[in-house]
């Protein structure tokens, strides 16, 4: 989801900026654009890191996977990534 949000936000605005070489959308939208691009990028990085940890626990730590992999923990981790 974060990759899709990043693409929907960044690609059109960055393409316009590259073609026109000017930012006509105002100072506030510029700040919001940069902020959201960084938020989505960090959320993507954290999601990939958590997925790597989950894969490690699933493959290597057989006993830990049954205790750790619950729906509640999944929602908590997703909330913490976006918080």
Express each pLDDT in 26-64 by its tens digit: 899 889 988 988 888 888 899 899 889 888 888 887 766
Contact 64, 57 (CB under 8 A): yes
Which residues lie below 8 Å from residue 50, measured CB to CB, with a gap of 6+? 77, 81
Average pLDDT over all residues of the chain? 84
pTM (2 d.p.): 0.71
Task: Look at residue 64 in the predicted model and tell me its pLDDT.
Answer: 61
Q: Count of domains in the chain?
A: 1
Both tokens assigned to 59: 């493959």
Contact 6, 41 (CB under 8 A): yes
Percent helix / strand / coil, the chain, rounded to 5: 85, 0, 15
Task: Look at residue 18 in the predicted model and tell me its pLDDT.
Answer: 86
């Amino acid at each position: 989801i974060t990759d899709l949000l990043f693409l929907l936000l960044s690609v059109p605005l960055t393409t316009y900026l590259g073609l026109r070489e000017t930012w006509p959308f105002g100072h506030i939208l510029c700040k919001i654009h940069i902020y959201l691009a960084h938020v989505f990028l960090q959320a993507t990085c954290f999601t990939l890191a958590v997925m790597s940890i989950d894969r490690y626990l699933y493959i290597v730590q057989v006993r830990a996977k049954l205790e750790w992999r619950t729906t509640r923990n999944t929602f908590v981790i997703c909330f913490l990534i976006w918080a």
